[in-house]
Structure formats: C-alpha cells, structure tokens
Amino acid sequence: MTGMTDSRKDAASFRAARDFLLRHRDDYNAARAGFSWPELHEYNWALDWFDVIAAEHPDRTALRIVTPPGPEHGSPATSAGAAGGEAERGTRISYAEMAARSGQVANWLRDVGVQRGDRLLLMLGNITPLWETILAAMKLGAVIIPTSTLLGPPDLADRIARGQVRHVITESVHVPKFREVPGDWTRIAVAPTIGGATAPAPAGPASPASGPPGAGPAGPARPPAPGTWLAYEDSLTASSEFAADGATYASDPMLLYFTSGTTAQPKLVQHTHASYPAGHLSTMYWIGLRPGDVHLNISSPGWAKHAWSNVYAPWNAGATALIFGYDRFSAGTLLRVLSEEQVTTFCAPPTVWRMLIQSDLTVADVSALRECLAAGEPLNPEVIEQVRSAWGITVRDGYGQTETTAQVGNTPGQPVRLGSMGRPLPGYDVTLIDPATGKPADEGEICLDLSRRPLGLMTGYLGDAAQEADAMRDGYYHTGDVAGRDADGYITYVGRTDDVFKAADYRISPFELESVLIEHAAVAEAAVVPAPDPVRLAVPKAYVTLAPGLEPSAEVAQSILAFGRERLAPYKRIRRIEFTDLPKTISGKIRRVELRGQENERAGSGTAAAHDPDGIGGPFRREPSPRGTSEFWEEDFSW
C-alpha cells in the first residue's frame, strides 16, 4: 500500500508541474520564477501518466503516421479502431488503443524472457511497433537502447557489446545485418507493415515462442531457442491487462543513447525514468504544446530528438504525435502534409528548413499552424526571415543535447532575437564559463550548475568514468558548446569548443560566417572550417552545397566570396570556397571535424614554395597543396 501511495503522490507532482507550465505557456517570466521540477521517487511514466491520460481521453489520437498512397502503404488509414476516411493515408492510433497495445507487448515480452533491468536494442523505423515497444519496455522496467535503422553490422556489434544487450527488436528487412553479430540475445523481428501499422498476427503454424495457433492469452509465449527469431506479431495474442512485477523508481535506468559522435566515438548516455519522460516538460514548454495539438516533428528514430518531439513532449501535453512516414524526403509533400493534417506545431532540423525555403512556402495551408521550431543545429536568420515572410510565423530556435532535455529556447509569446537561440528554459540554470579562467562570463562554454541539477540531465556516461568526470568537473556539467549572452539574457550560439578557431589571432565562429553565406541565393548549405595558411596560420574556408540547378563555377564562387566581403569584417572574411556535399553524422549533423581533418591532411602533403600574398613578411609555412577539385581562393579573382 505504501508503494501505491508513493506512486500516486509522484504522479500528482508530475501533473502539477505539467499543468503549471501549460497555464504559463505565454508568460516566460512567471514560468521561470514559479516552476520547480516534480519530486519523483517511485514513478513509471508509461503506467502512471500515459495509461492515466489514455483513460481520461480514450478517443484522442496519440499517434498518426502519414504514408504515401499505394496498397503497400495502406489507404485509407488503418488502426485498431479508426478508419479515418478515404482521403486519409497511413495509420491512426488512439490513446486507449496505444495503452492496450503496449500492455499486450509488455506481457508478451515478459513471457519470452525480457526482465526488469534488461537492455533492449530497439531498431525500428517510424512504424507503430516502435511506440508500442517504448511504452511496453518502460512498463516492464527494461532499458531501451534506441538505434538507427541506417547502422550496419560493425556498429550493431559495437552497440550490442558495449551496451550489454540482452534483447533485439528490429524489422525483418534488417535481420540480415545481425547474422554476423555475436552474442546470446533474444531476437525479435517485426513483419513488414501496412501504412505504418502493426502487422496482424500470423495465421497458420505458431512461431517458436508461441503456443498453438489461436491459443490467445491463455497460451503464454515461451522463451525461444538460441538463435531463433521470434515474430513480434505474436504479441497480439497476449492480454492487454498489464500488472507490474514490482515498483519502478525514478532513478532506475530507462534509456541508453549512443551519441551521434561529431568529433569522437559515440558515448553511451544514460537516462532514467525521471530524466527523460519528466525532464521533457522543458521541451513541451519550449515547443508551446497544448492538449489536443497535432505536433509534426521531422526526425529519425534512434536519435534523441525523435524521443524529444515524437514521444515525450507531445504525450506529456496530451497531444497527437504526427509522423511523416515517407522513405524519401520531398519538400512539396511535406508542405501538403502540413496542410492536410492541420498541423498546429511543427519542428524540423535546419537542413529541412533550408530545403523548404527552396520551395514555394505559400502553397501550404497553414491556417491551423501556431508554432514553428528548429533544433539540432542553430538556424540561420535568413531562413527565419523567409518563413516569417511567407507564413507570418517566426521559427523559434532551441537548444539541448542527447545528455539533456531542452535547455534553452525562444519560448511562445516572447520576442525572438534573430541569431539567438533564446533564454534558459524553466528548470534550467545556465552559466557561461570562460574556458581560460574557469569563471562565469558573458561568453563561454554553456554549463549547468550541478548544485541546482536539472531533472533532465543524464546520470552520466556508462562505462566511461573519465569522460563523465570531465563533463561533470568543477561543479558544472560542461556541454562542449560555446555561446554568448546579452544584457537581457538571450543566448547566442558560437560553436562547439572544438569548432571555434583563430585566424590571424582573431577568434572565428563558424556559425556566424555560415549564417551570412546561407543568405546567398546559390547556397543551400555551408560549413566553415580553418584552412592552414602560410601567413595567417589559418583562414576561414567554406565548404558549400549549391542550391538545386546550380553547378560549381568560378563565377558562382566569386559571387559568394563577394557577398561575404560585403557583409563580414575583414578578419572574418571567407578566403576559400569549395563546392561539395557536406559530410554528416548518421543523425544529420554536419561533421566539421572531418572537413578540418581533410584540410590538415592537404596541408601536410603540400610541396609548393611559401609565398606572401599580403606583403606583410614571414616567417611562413609552405602553401597547402593540392586544392580540392572544385575549390577557389580569394586571390584567384580581381577585387
């Protein structure tokens, strides 16, 4: 009885914190001043929150997956209880249906051997079983390791070994990737889906883990023989009434994320039953979600932002998570989905926004659209201006990490300063630490004071005590990102601590230069890195992906360089430009570390004589050689 009482008390604390933020959605100062994180001790978000609001709003849509037309994708919509009409494609699942299905999956997983504390590698695309399994694993107390479907056998072997994985759930199309991956782990395959829905239970002979065909809940599944792949669809025969086998504590591990690794091997980030589900109250507030909203977020499963905006933030608010279930991205299709689905809140990474502004934004019906957001990398001011001109809505930037929930953001109803990612969100106290002095400053590394530790901060890096100690040193959590803060508390991103560089002894922020370049009509994307130089030690060099329909040429290069010369101080001037596709992490972040390495490698192989282009005297290093195949330098042109 004590445990039940504690659980109800903690659930009430979570609801009170959530309702406070909803009430003060447009009042940043009141939200900051009055918010406190819920006190959670015994808490299971899937049981104590999701199932509760599912009972309160059983018919409200929890998950909507939009898929292309065609019989292989499902048309009209498919679900356990919603057909949706002839024009609707894909799948629609209510809160009540999702609660029931996750209970079935939890019971079935327990029958086949998944126990509290076991680690489960979850490698699924944007299909209903992904959400069912997330909730089911939480109900069981299992630890989820979200994994991108883009990974190959070497990465999977690394994750299974380092993550000490006991169970794997993946789509049947990915089963061959696991053939050479060693380990004694439960294998569960999800059959191809129609419209993103869960495939029906198989007819005919039972799978190796099932009882006789048609046995239903009375014939519980059995643990499989080693090496056998079980059919996920057999979970449809389990009971939907789930009873936990014990208490789940807020401090229990719930998620292990492999970071995307822009500069190093991925670290294993550990979150708890409090830090991610409840921690994402800050994300809910930043987005500006309301109960009943239709929230569209463009993100791939396996990465933290997918959990942020496709699971916890919308379901904390009691909103619908709308999924763009297309294999190939199309700006025109996305604009049509925004219109047809009457999206109220929309979040996308800068790459998607940059692609959208290459299209005609005015064709979309945005009458229902209230909030537009960007996250993942800083959004360039030019993109914000173009969207505001077309839609009358200001795209609001935000900032967070796999290690945290949303920390900083431009919040609803507040003035947005172009170039700034906003102010600290409720529950987060952000300090900028000068790397040179270790003291708070107006510009420095974004850090979180551990004496006021936010609920949304990870517990640490699993299996890497040295990395964890470095990140948590001197009483702060160190993000590795550098920013500046103005007199009103607005924080502007400068770059990663390892992206910022010096040229001729001046400090250069790649993001600032990239924001100027992206304003040029020919530039779709840009990344600025230091290129070794015999005079200035390093000069800013831009790697540029051109807008569709344009080809690299000296004329285009000169136009872009001239554009920068008109808008940047001389010491910030782009001196070199190379046209190429930008290397990215599997989660879509630009890998500037790879571009820097390429520049250093070219410089190391240089054999040309040193020169003095500005006539300012030596000593010099040798000129980098060779250039890229489509690279142009400032001195190639007459100015």
Cα–Cα distance, 462 to 60 (Å, whole number): 38
List the CATH code of the domain at 502-636.
Answer: 3.30.300.30
pLDDT value, residue 611: 38
Among 148-157, 211-220, 397-406, 488-497, the least confident range: 211-220
- Residue 216 confidence class, pLDDT cut points 50, 70, 90: very low
- In eight-state DSSP terms, residue 309 is I
- Residue 141 confidence class, pLDDT cut points 50, 70, 90: very high
Cis peptide before 619 (omega within 30 of 0): yes
Q: Is residue 149's pLDDT more than 50?
A: yes
Among 148-152, 297-301, 402-406, 424-428, the least confident range: 148-152
DSSP state string for 395-433: EEEEEE-TTSSEEEEPPTTS---TT--BEEPTT--EEEE
Domain ranges in the chain?
502-636
Cα–Cα distance, 430 to 89 (Å, whole number): 44
Cα–Cα distance, 357 to 370 (Å, whole number): 18
Q: Is residue 76's pLDDT more than 70?
A: no
User: What are φ and ψ of residue 349, in 5° steps?
Assistant: -70, 160
**Arithmetic mean of pLDDT, 10-15:** 96
Cα–Cα distance, 456 to 438 (Å, whole number): 24
Q: Is residue 2's pLDDT more than 70?
A: no
pLDDT value, residue 628: 76
Among 23-32, 87-96, 116-125, 550-559, the least confident range: 87-96
Mean pLDDT of the chain: 87
Residue 249 burial (CB count, 10 A):
17
pLDDT value, residue 543: 96
Name the residue among 271, 217, 207, 621 with its Cα closest to residue 462.
Answer: 271
| Residue type for position 322 | L
| Residue type for position 290 | R
Let me know if 504 is exposed, middle or buried by CB neighbors in 10 A (0-12, 13-18, 19+). middle
Name the residue among 128, 72, 67, 75 with its Cα closest to residue 337.
Answer: 67
Q: Is residue 344's pLDDT more than 50?
A: yes
Residue 201 burial (CB count, 10 A):
19
**Arithmetic mean of pLDDT, 38-45:** 96
- In eight-state DSSP terms, residue 576 is E
- Residue 610 confidence class, pLDDT cut points 50, 70, 90: very low
**Higher model confidence: residue 124 or residue 536?**
124
Name the residue among 285, 307, 301 with its Cα closest to residue 371.
Answer: 285
For the whole model, what pTM was predicted? Answer: 0.80
pLDDT value, residue 508: 82
Tokens of 239: 């009971």
Q: Which long-range contacts (CB under 8 A, 24 or more apart) does 154-163 make?
A: 156/121, 156/123, 156/181, 157/181, 157/182, 159/121, 159/258, 160/121, 160/185, 162/268, 162/463, 163/119, 163/121, 163/256, 163/258, 163/268
Contact 159/170 with Cβ under 8 angstroms?
no
Q: Is residue 578's pLDDT more than 90?
A: yes
Q: What is the pLDDT of residues 333-343, one digit of tens each?
A: 999 999 999 99
Among 44-53, 153-162, 195-204, the least confident range: 195-204
Tokens of 559: 């136009």
Cα–Cα distance, 378 to 495 (Å, whole number): 9
pLDDT value, residue 329: 84
